[in-house]
Amino acid sequence: MAIILGDNQYGKAESRIVRIVRDSPRHEIRDLNVTTALRGPFEPAYLVGDQSNVLPTDTQKNTAYAFTKSKGVESIEQYGLDLARHFVHEIDPVEGARIEIEEFAWERAVVDGTEHDHTWLRKGQEVRTAAVTVDSSGEYVIGGLKDLVLLKSTGSEFAGFLKDEYTTLPETHDRVMATALDAKWRFSSLDVDWNAVYPTIKALMVTEFATLQSLALQQTLWHMGTAVMEEFPFIAEVRLKAPNKHHFDYDIGRFGVENHGEVFFASDRAYGLIEATLIRDDAPPAGEAWRASAGLA
Ligand SMILES: O=c1[nH]c(=O)c2[nH]c(=O)[nH]c2[nH]1
Protein backbone atom coordinates (compact mmCIF):
# COMPACT_ATOMS: atom_id res chain seq x y z
CA MET A 1 0.00 0.00 0.00
CA ALA A 2 1.25 3.45 -0.89
CA ILE A 3 -0.18 6.79 0.04
CA ILE A 4 -0.23 9.35 -2.71
CA LEU A 5 -0.76 13.07 -2.53
CA GLY A 6 -3.93 13.93 -4.38
CA ASP A 7 -5.46 17.26 -5.28
CA ASN A 8 -3.67 20.19 -3.70
CA GLN A 9 -3.45 23.95 -3.96
CA TYR A 10 -2.24 26.70 -1.69
CA GLY A 11 -2.63 30.42 -1.36
CA LYS A 12 -3.65 33.33 0.82
CA ALA A 13 -7.26 33.38 1.89
CA GLU A 14 -9.29 36.49 2.61
CA SER A 15 -6.96 39.44 2.11
CA ARG A 16 -9.09 42.43 3.04
CA ILE A 17 -8.21 45.16 0.57
CA VAL A 18 -9.70 48.62 0.53
CA ARG A 19 -8.72 50.65 -2.51
CA ILE A 20 -9.45 54.38 -2.52
CA VAL A 21 -9.16 56.23 -5.81
CA ARG A 22 -8.28 59.80 -4.80
CA ASP A 23 -7.14 61.38 -8.06
CA SER A 24 -9.79 64.09 -7.69
CA PRO A 25 -11.67 65.56 -4.72
CA ARG A 26 -14.45 63.02 -5.36
CA HIS A 27 -12.97 59.76 -4.11
CA GLU A 28 -14.04 56.25 -5.10
CA ILE A 29 -13.95 53.16 -2.88
CA ARG A 30 -13.64 49.44 -3.66
CA ASP A 31 -13.81 47.12 -0.67
CA LEU A 32 -12.65 43.58 -1.38
CA ASN A 33 -12.00 40.24 0.25
CA VAL A 34 -9.54 38.39 -2.01
CA THR A 35 -8.40 34.78 -1.97
CA THR A 36 -5.62 33.41 -4.18
CA ALA A 37 -4.84 29.73 -4.70
CA LEU A 38 -2.06 28.33 -6.89
CA ARG A 39 -1.87 24.91 -8.52
CA GLY A 40 1.20 23.30 -10.01
CA PRO A 41 4.16 21.04 -9.19
CA PHE A 42 4.08 21.70 -5.49
CA GLU A 43 4.28 18.08 -4.30
CA PRO A 44 7.87 18.46 -2.98
CA ALA A 45 6.67 21.10 -0.50
CA TYR A 46 4.22 18.59 0.94
CA LEU A 47 6.35 15.46 0.68
CA VAL A 48 9.85 16.62 1.61
CA GLY A 49 9.53 20.25 2.65
CA ASP A 50 11.22 21.62 -0.48
CA GLN A 51 10.03 25.22 -0.99
CA SER A 52 11.95 25.94 -4.19
CA ASN A 53 8.79 26.16 -6.28
CA VAL A 54 6.67 27.76 -3.59
CA LEU A 55 5.72 31.40 -4.10
CA PRO A 56 4.88 32.35 -0.52
CA THR A 57 1.28 33.04 0.32
CA ASP A 58 2.61 36.33 1.72
CA THR A 59 3.85 37.26 -1.76
CA GLN A 60 0.48 36.32 -3.24
CA LYS A 61 -1.19 38.65 -0.77
CA ASN A 62 1.22 41.47 -1.61
CA THR A 63 0.53 41.01 -5.31
CA ALA A 64 -3.21 41.19 -4.70
CA TYR A 65 -2.74 44.53 -2.90
CA ALA A 66 -0.33 45.94 -5.48
CA PHE A 67 -2.57 45.06 -8.42
CA THR A 68 -5.45 47.14 -7.05
CA LYS A 69 -3.20 50.13 -7.78
CA SER A 70 -1.14 49.05 -10.78
CA LYS A 71 -4.00 47.38 -12.68
CA GLY A 72 -6.94 48.99 -10.89
CA VAL A 73 -10.28 47.41 -10.05
CA GLU A 74 -12.52 48.24 -12.97
CA SER A 75 -14.57 45.17 -12.05
CA ILE A 76 -13.82 42.29 -9.71
CA GLU A 77 -14.04 39.90 -12.66
CA GLN A 78 -11.35 41.81 -14.61
CA TYR A 79 -9.19 42.24 -11.50
CA GLY A 80 -9.40 38.48 -10.90
CA LEU A 81 -8.37 37.78 -14.49
CA ASP A 82 -5.40 40.17 -14.21
CA LEU A 83 -4.23 38.50 -11.02
CA ALA A 84 -4.74 34.92 -12.23
CA ARG A 85 -2.99 35.60 -15.54
CA HIS A 86 -0.06 37.15 -13.70
CA PHE A 87 0.50 34.09 -11.51
CA VAL A 88 0.15 31.62 -14.39
CA HIS A 89 2.10 33.54 -17.03
CA GLU A 90 4.75 35.34 -14.98
CA ILE A 91 5.57 32.87 -12.20
CA ASP A 92 7.24 29.94 -13.85
CA PRO A 93 6.14 26.86 -11.89
CA VAL A 94 2.53 28.00 -11.49
CA GLU A 95 0.20 26.03 -13.76
CA GLY A 96 -3.15 27.22 -12.52
CA ALA A 97 -4.53 30.05 -10.41
CA ARG A 98 -7.84 30.43 -8.72
CA ILE A 99 -8.88 33.88 -7.51
CA GLU A 100 -12.02 34.34 -5.41
CA ILE A 101 -13.29 37.79 -4.59
CA GLU A 102 -16.08 39.23 -2.51
CA GLU A 103 -16.95 42.88 -2.91
CA PHE A 104 -18.70 44.88 -0.22
CA ALA A 105 -20.71 47.80 -1.55
CA TRP A 106 -20.69 51.31 -0.13
CA GLU A 107 -23.04 54.14 -0.99
CA ARG A 108 -22.21 57.78 -0.68
CA ALA A 109 -23.38 59.65 2.37
CA VAL A 110 -25.84 62.40 1.56
CA VAL A 111 -25.00 65.59 3.42
CA ASP A 112 -27.25 68.64 3.09
CA GLY A 113 -28.96 66.97 0.14
CA THR A 114 -25.68 66.37 -1.75
CA GLU A 115 -23.63 63.21 -2.21
CA HIS A 116 -20.49 63.52 -0.16
CA ASP A 117 -17.08 63.23 -1.85
CA HIS A 118 -15.34 61.03 0.68
CA THR A 119 -17.86 59.56 3.13
CA TRP A 120 -19.88 56.41 2.54
CA LEU A 121 -22.39 54.20 4.33
CA ARG A 122 -21.88 50.48 4.06
CA LYS A 123 -24.70 49.01 1.96
CA GLY A 124 -26.43 46.29 3.91
CA GLN A 125 -27.41 44.50 0.72
CA GLU A 126 -25.87 41.59 -1.08
CA VAL A 127 -22.17 40.82 -1.56
CA ARG A 128 -21.02 40.67 -5.18
CA THR A 129 -18.69 37.76 -5.92
CA ALA A 130 -16.31 36.62 -8.64
CA ALA A 131 -14.26 33.46 -9.06
CA VAL A 132 -11.61 33.32 -11.78
CA THR A 133 -9.58 30.30 -12.81
CA VAL A 134 -6.73 30.41 -15.31
CA ASP A 135 -4.83 27.27 -16.30
CA SER A 136 -3.60 25.48 -19.40
CA SER A 137 -7.14 24.37 -20.26
CA GLY A 138 -8.44 27.94 -20.44
CA GLU A 139 -9.79 30.92 -18.56
CA TYR A 140 -13.03 30.73 -16.59
CA VAL A 141 -15.08 33.45 -14.90
CA ILE A 142 -17.94 32.94 -12.52
CA GLY A 143 -19.89 35.97 -11.36
CA GLY A 144 -22.27 35.94 -8.48
CA LEU A 145 -23.91 37.40 -5.45
CA LYS A 146 -24.65 36.14 -2.00
CA ASP A 147 -26.77 37.15 0.97
CA LEU A 148 -29.35 38.90 -1.17
CA VAL A 149 -32.14 38.88 1.43
CA LEU A 150 -35.59 38.89 -0.16
CA LEU A 151 -39.06 38.63 1.34
CA LYS A 152 -42.53 38.73 -0.18
CA SER A 153 -45.58 38.93 2.05
CA THR A 154 -47.96 37.24 -0.39
CA GLY A 155 -47.86 35.60 -3.81
CA SER A 156 -46.39 32.38 -2.45
CA GLU A 157 -48.06 28.99 -2.02
CA PHE A 158 -47.06 25.51 -0.95
CA ALA A 159 -49.67 22.81 -1.35
CA GLY A 160 -50.26 19.47 -3.01
CA PHE A 161 -47.10 17.99 -1.55
CA LEU A 162 -46.47 14.34 -0.75
CA LYS A 163 -47.75 13.32 2.67
CA ASP A 164 -46.96 10.42 4.95
CA GLU A 165 -47.49 9.59 8.61
CA TYR A 166 -44.89 12.18 9.65
CA THR A 167 -46.39 15.06 7.67
CA THR A 168 -47.89 17.81 9.79
CA LEU A 169 -47.30 20.85 7.55
CA PRO A 170 -50.59 22.50 6.58
CA GLU A 171 -51.10 23.38 2.94
CA THR A 172 -51.08 27.10 2.20
CA HIS A 173 -52.04 29.30 -0.73
CA ASP A 174 -50.82 32.48 0.90
CA ARG A 175 -47.61 32.60 2.88
CA VAL A 176 -44.55 34.72 3.43
CA MET A 177 -41.62 33.64 1.31
CA ALA A 178 -38.14 34.81 2.28
CA THR A 179 -34.60 33.81 1.45
CA ALA A 180 -30.98 34.91 1.45
CA LEU A 181 -30.08 34.10 -2.13
CA ASP A 182 -26.71 32.77 -3.18
CA ALA A 183 -26.37 32.83 -6.98
CA LYS A 184 -23.45 32.08 -9.24
CA TRP A 185 -23.30 32.32 -13.01
CA ARG A 186 -20.69 30.92 -15.39
CA PHE A 187 -19.73 33.04 -18.37
CA SER A 188 -18.98 31.29 -21.66
CA SER A 189 -17.36 34.49 -23.00
CA LEU A 190 -14.79 36.85 -21.51
CA ASP A 191 -15.84 39.69 -23.78
CA VAL A 192 -18.38 40.96 -21.29
CA ASP A 193 -19.18 44.34 -19.76
CA TRP A 194 -18.95 42.90 -16.25
CA ASN A 195 -20.26 45.94 -14.42
CA ALA A 196 -23.24 46.35 -16.75
CA VAL A 197 -24.32 42.72 -16.56
CA TYR A 198 -24.30 42.50 -12.78
CA PRO A 199 -27.14 44.92 -11.92
CA THR A 200 -29.27 43.52 -14.73
CA ILE A 201 -28.92 39.97 -13.42
CA LYS A 202 -29.78 41.11 -9.92
CA ALA A 203 -32.81 43.05 -11.17
CA LEU A 204 -34.05 40.09 -13.24
CA MET A 205 -33.86 37.76 -10.27
CA VAL A 206 -35.58 40.22 -7.95
CA THR A 207 -38.33 40.77 -10.55
CA GLU A 208 -38.99 37.03 -10.87
CA PHE A 209 -39.05 36.60 -7.12
CA ALA A 210 -41.54 39.45 -6.81
CA THR A 211 -43.87 38.76 -9.72
CA LEU A 212 -44.16 34.98 -9.97
CA GLN A 213 -47.16 33.51 -8.15
CA SER A 214 -44.86 30.97 -6.57
CA LEU A 215 -45.99 27.40 -5.98
CA ALA A 216 -42.68 26.59 -4.26
CA LEU A 217 -39.25 28.10 -3.80
CA GLN A 218 -38.03 25.46 -6.25
CA GLN A 219 -40.22 26.98 -8.98
CA THR A 220 -39.09 30.50 -8.08
CA LEU A 221 -35.44 29.49 -8.48
CA TRP A 222 -36.14 27.96 -11.89
CA HIS A 223 -37.79 31.18 -13.06
CA MET A 224 -34.97 33.33 -11.69
CA GLY A 225 -32.32 31.25 -13.45
CA THR A 226 -34.13 31.00 -16.78
CA ALA A 227 -34.79 34.76 -16.83
CA VAL A 228 -31.06 35.39 -16.52
CA MET A 229 -30.07 32.80 -19.13
CA GLU A 230 -32.68 34.01 -21.61
CA GLU A 231 -31.41 37.58 -21.29
CA PHE A 232 -27.69 36.75 -21.59
CA PRO A 233 -26.70 34.09 -24.14
CA PHE A 234 -23.13 34.20 -22.82
CA ILE A 235 -24.21 32.82 -19.45
CA ALA A 236 -23.84 29.06 -19.79
CA GLU A 237 -24.85 27.97 -16.32
CA VAL A 238 -26.51 29.36 -13.20
CA ARG A 239 -26.22 27.82 -9.75
CA LEU A 240 -28.68 28.90 -7.08
CA LYS A 241 -28.85 28.18 -3.39
CA ALA A 242 -31.74 29.51 -1.35
CA PRO A 243 -32.51 28.90 2.32
CA ASN A 244 -36.25 28.97 2.89
CA LYS A 245 -36.46 31.41 5.77
CA HIS A 246 -39.68 30.19 7.28
CA HIS A 247 -42.18 32.62 8.74
CA PHE A 248 -44.72 30.77 10.87
CA ASP A 249 -48.06 32.24 11.89
CA TYR A 250 -47.81 33.08 15.56
CA ASP A 251 -50.75 31.92 17.65
CA ILE A 252 -52.12 35.11 19.13
CA GLY A 253 -55.62 33.64 19.10
CA ARG A 254 -54.71 32.46 22.62
CA PHE A 255 -54.88 36.11 23.64
CA GLY A 256 -58.13 36.85 21.85
CA VAL A 257 -56.39 38.61 18.95
CA GLU A 258 -57.06 37.43 15.40
CA ASN A 259 -54.11 36.70 13.09
CA HIS A 260 -54.87 36.72 9.37
CA GLY A 261 -51.31 36.30 8.12
CA GLU A 262 -50.20 39.39 10.00
CA VAL A 263 -47.99 38.23 12.88
CA PHE A 264 -45.20 35.69 12.33
CA PHE A 265 -42.44 33.92 14.17
CA ALA A 266 -39.34 34.37 11.97
CA SER A 267 -37.49 31.11 12.44
CA ASP A 268 -33.73 31.13 11.79
CA ARG A 269 -33.36 27.34 11.88
CA ALA A 270 -34.09 24.67 10.80
CA TYR A 271 -34.53 26.00 7.27
CA GLY A 272 -35.33 24.35 3.99
CA LEU A 273 -32.37 24.59 1.64
CA ILE A 274 -33.35 24.63 -2.01
CA GLU A 275 -30.58 24.31 -4.61
CA ALA A 276 -30.58 24.19 -8.38
CA THR A 277 -28.17 24.21 -11.29
CA LEU A 278 -29.44 25.40 -14.66
CA ILE A 279 -27.25 24.66 -17.64
CA ARG A 280 -27.56 25.03 -21.41
CA ASP A 281 -27.46 21.74 -23.26
CA ASP A 282 -24.74 23.20 -25.50
CA ALA A 283 -22.70 24.80 -22.70
CA PRO A 284 -18.92 24.64 -23.14
CA PRO A 285 -17.16 22.40 -20.61
CA ALA A 286 -16.86 23.94 -17.16
CA GLY A 287 -13.26 22.80 -16.81
CA GLU A 288 -11.91 23.97 -13.47
CA ALA A 289 -14.44 26.79 -13.21
CA TRP A 290 -16.18 25.40 -10.13
CA ARG A 291 -13.15 24.05 -8.28
CA ALA A 292 -13.25 26.27 -5.25
CA SER A 293 -10.61 27.49 -2.89
CA ALA A 294 -11.86 29.34 0.18
CA GLY A 295 -15.37 28.93 -1.15
CA LEU A 296 -15.94 32.65 -0.94
CA ALA A 297 -17.26 32.92 -4.40
O1 LIG B 1 -41.08 26.19 -1.21
C2 LIG B 1 -41.03 25.18 -0.47
N3 LIG B 1 -40.45 24.04 -0.96
C4 LIG B 1 -40.35 22.90 -0.20
O5 LIG B 1 -39.80 21.87 -0.66
C6 LIG B 1 -40.88 22.93 1.10
N7 LIG B 1 -40.94 22.01 2.10
C8 LIG B 1 -41.55 22.62 3.15
O9 LIG B 1 -41.76 22.07 4.29
N10 LIG B 1 -41.90 23.89 2.84
C11 LIG B 1 -41.49 24.12 1.56
N12 LIG B 1 -41.55 25.22 0.76
Say whether 148-285 and 7-136 share the same fold: yes
Under CATH, to which class is 7-136 assigned?
Answer: alpha beta
* 272 touches 156 (CB < 8 A): no
Q: Is 200 known to be catalytic?
A: no
**Closest by alpha carbon to 32, among 297, 238, 241, 240?**
297
pLDDT on residue 56: 98
Residue 158 beta carbon below 6 angstroms from any ligand 1 atom: yes
Please state, in angstroms and rounded to a whole number, the distance separating the CA atoms of residues 60 and 87: 9
The active-site residue, picked from 27, 57, 71, 116, is: 57
Please state, in angstroms and rounded to a whole number, the distance separating the CA atoms of residues 252 and 258: 7
Kindly write down the DSSP assignment for every residue of the chain, as one continuous string.
------S--B----EEEEEEE-SSSS-EEEEEEEEEEEESS-HHHHHT---TT---HHHHHHHHHHHHHHT--S-HHHHHHHHHHHHHHHSTT--EEEEEEEEE-EEEEEETTEEEEEEEEE--SPEEEEEEEEETTEEEEEEEEEEEEEEESSSB-B-S----TT--PPPBSS--EEEEEEEEEEES-S---HHHHHHHHHHHHHHHHHHS-BS-HHHHHHHHHHHHHHH-TTEEEEEEEEEE--EEEP--GGGT---SS--EEE--SS-EEEEEEEE-TTPPP-TTTT--SSS--
Kindly write down the DSSP assignment for every residue of 122-165, as one continuous string.
E--SPEEEEEEEEETTEEEEEEEEEEEEEEESSSB-B-S----T
Interface TM-score (ipTM) > 0.85? yes
Q: Is 246 known to be catalytic?
A: yes
If one residue of 158, 168, 174, 224 were mutated to test the ligand 1 pocket, choosing by the most ligand atoms within 8 A of its CB, it would be 158
Domain boundaries, the chain: 7-136, 148-285
* 274 touches 221 (CB < 8 A): yes
Under CATH, to which class is 148-285 assigned?
Answer: alpha beta
d(CA 180, ligand 1 centre) in Å: 15
Averages of pLDDT over runs of 10 residues in the chain (297 residues) are: 96 98 97 98 98 98 98 98 98 98 97 96 92 97 98 98 98 98 98 98 98 98 98 98 97 98 96 98 95 83
Shortest-distance Cα residue to atom 7 of ligand 1: 272
pLDDT on residue 212: 98
Atom of ligand 1 nearest to the CA of 177: 1
pLDDT on residue 223: 98
**Whole-prediction pTM:** 0.95
* Cα 149 to Cα 41, 104, 182, distances in angstroms: 42, 15, 9
Residue 169 beta carbon below 6 angstroms from any ligand 1 atom: yes
Shortest-distance Cα residue to atom 12 of ligand 1: 216
pLDDT on residue 68: 98
